[in-house]
Amino acid sequence: MRIGLKTDSRQVKPGDTFIALKGPVTDGHDYVDVAIANGAIKVIVEHGQYPVEVEMVDDTREYFKNYLKENYYPYIEKMKLVGITGTNGKTSIGFMTFEMLLNQGIKAGYIGTIGFHIGDKSRPLNNTTPDLDLLYNLLLECVDASCEVVIMEVSSHALAYGRVNGLQFDVVAFTNLTQDHLDFHGTMENYLATKQELFRMTRGAKIAVINGDDAHAKDFVLPENRNILIKSQDGDVTIEDYTIEHTHTNLEFSYLAKSYRTTINLIGKYNIYNYLTSLMIAVNLGCDVDALLDKNELVQAPTGRMSYLKKGTNSIFIDYAHTPDAIENVAKTIKETTARKIVTLIGCGGNRDKTKRPLMAATACKYSDLAIFTNDNPRNEAPDAIIADMTAGLDYDNYVVIKDRAQAIRYGIDQLENNDVLLVLGKGHENYQIINGEKFHFSDFEEVEKYLKDL
């Protein structure tokens, strides 16, 4: 089952109806002629005259939202929807929840940063939360596959642009809120207010799972929801004790007056919150705590989230960390588990929040013996300008600049001696770089593995 209107002029086939949607960068009205040339026999627009049947509306996005809700939401609303928001951790929580449900025999779908997954099938997506037309098609695909649950990462951009308008969620979750996307939202207050919107889109039991130790937790505790707070003290879920090893964490927690002990395939205190959030989502979808814990060995963080490779006695971790807070979480975790040298490689994305660049650089230097500043995705910015933003006013001198990311990775590996750690941060699962607006194949994993073979 697929929606009957086309929003991408390139996908129009003879006999289709095209609706011109205004997006953050492009306006569908600019492509009406292309849609007609490709065979559209009707167009839905806000203005203009065209040589086919025309339906004129005040707001095509509002029209489209109502069209979807009237014609397709009755199919989608039979599935349980889970929405996860926050600055960091959305992908880890979403994918681990997806794994937990599959391990319990529950047919589920996942939509997020690392793509669209149903069972063992997956494909990439261009956005963490796709636009409304693509999102509905993915949800309808989940309906066709008899999914009981769909887990979605819900980004602040998605909420601001109305990509989840009209949907309601059985379970929502908040991870944390730290500086990011201020190039788009302007202020942290705007960023916070946008993310809060997800917690007003609940239905049914209105479950809200919240990292209660985050400084902004109270802002997501809404009276209309059944709030479950994960805290280090006096939470609905309480972290009683934990020990972090090199590749796993031993965890003790309590829930509903009962204590549990388990081992998880994750490291770092921040990942304890991520894991427990996933666990509580699964529990509130009907799973048993003990049954979930019994399958913990099958629950892994997604690719590019503290993914681990070895070089002799040395360790290399590849992670998506691309905010000051995420870099601090990763680096502090490694510092807690090793007394040896830590080398951290990071870059900052072009055409994105510039104010976080010096914070990211300072954090990398603070928690590392050596920081390597390199390119991430410069996009349409000059790499030299990005590096200059990173190093402006920096009170550390334990860094080098190697703009070529492949060379920087090789240099980082060369610094490892005995039981040392290299953190390759910022891109994680991504297999591309965008330089001067052009997209090139590039994978941190491939570059690390290729160089290790050459040594």
Residue 412, domain CATH: 3.90.190.20
**The predicted structure's pLDDT at residue 148:** 96
Give how many domains the chain has, as a whole number. 3
Which structural domain, as residue segments, surrounds residue 50? 5-57
CA-to-CA dists, residue 447 to 187, 221, 303, 425, 441, angstroms: 37, 44, 15, 13, 11
**The predicted structure's pLDDT at residue 333:** 85
pLDDT at 217 over 90: yes
Instruction: State pLDDT tens for residues 387-424.
Output: 999 999 889 999 999 999 999 999 999 999 988 999 99
Q: Which CATH number does the domain housing residue 200 bear? A: 3.40.1190.10
- 262: in domain: yes
Identify the domain boundary among 245, 275, 298. 298
Decide if 28 contacts 10 (C-beta within 8 A).
no
Average pLDDT over residues 446-455: 87
Burial of 391 (0-12, 13-18, 19+ CB in 10 A): middle
Instruction: State pLDDT tens for residues 84-95.
Output: 998 888 899 999
**The predicted structure's pLDDT at residue 337:** 78
Instruction: State pLDDT tens for residues 327-382.
Output: 998 888 888 777 689 999 999 988 888 888 999 999 999 999 999 999 998 898 89
pLDDT above 90 covers a percentage of the chain that reads 58
- The Cα–Cα gap between 195 and 220 comes to 9
pLDDT tier at 182, thresholds 50, 70, 90: low
- 163: in domain: yes
Give the type of residue at 259: S
Does residue 154 share a domain with residue 23? no
With H, G, I as helix, E, B as strand and everything else as coil, classify residue 106.
coil
Does residue 100 share a domain with residue 183? yes
Identify the domain boundary among 274, 298, 322. 298
- 67: in domain: no
Does residue 370 share a domain with residue 350? yes
Average pLDDT over residues 440-451: 92
- The Cα–Cα gap between 385 and 354 comes to 10
Identify the domain boundary among 298, 318, 337. 298
Decide if 335 contacts 298 (C-beta within 8 A).
no
- 68: in domain: no
- The Cα–Cα gap between 421 and 39 comes to 57
pLDDT tier at 180, thresholds 50, 70, 90: low
Does residue 273 share a domain with residue 367? no
**The predicted structure's pLDDT at residue 278:** 97
Does residue 208 share a domain with residue 326? no
Q: Which CATH number does the domain housing residue 50 bear? A: 3.40.1390.10
- 140: in domain: yes
Instruction: State pLDDT tens for residues 43-75.
Output: 999 999 999 999 999 999 889 988 998 999 999
**The predicted structure's pLDDT at residue 181:** 54
**The predicted structure's pLDDT at residue 353:** 81
CA-to-CA dists, residue 320 to 39, 90, 301, 399, 444, angstroms: 42, 12, 12, 20, 10
Does residue 12 share a domain with residue 41? yes
Decide if 347 contacts 423 (C-beta within 8 A).
no
Model pTM score: 0.83
**The predicted structure's pLDDT at residue 409:** 95
The candidate with the shortest Cα–Cα distance to 160, out of 136, 193, 126, 200, is 193
Instruction: State pLDDT tens for residues 276-291.
Output: 999 999 999 999 999 9
Does residue 217 share a domain with residue 170? yes
Does residue 324 share a domain with residue 233? no
- 389: in domain: yes
Does residue 408 share a domain with residue 328? yes
**Cβ-Cβ contacts under 8 Å for 432 (sequence gap 6 or more):** 377, 439, 440, 441, 442
- 19: in domain: yes
**Average pLDDT taken over every residue of the chain:** 90
pLDDT at 247 over 70: yes
pLDDT tier at 24, thresholds 50, 70, 90: low
pLDDT at 2 over 80: no
pLDDT at 271 over 80: yes
As a dihedral over the C-alpha atoms of residue 10, residue 14, residue 17, residue 20, rounded to 10 degrees, the angle is 30
Average pLDDT over residues 107-125: 90
Does residue 225 share a domain with residue 208? yes
Does residue 287 share a domain with residue 231? yes
- 64: in domain: no
Does residue 48 share a domain with residue 20? yes
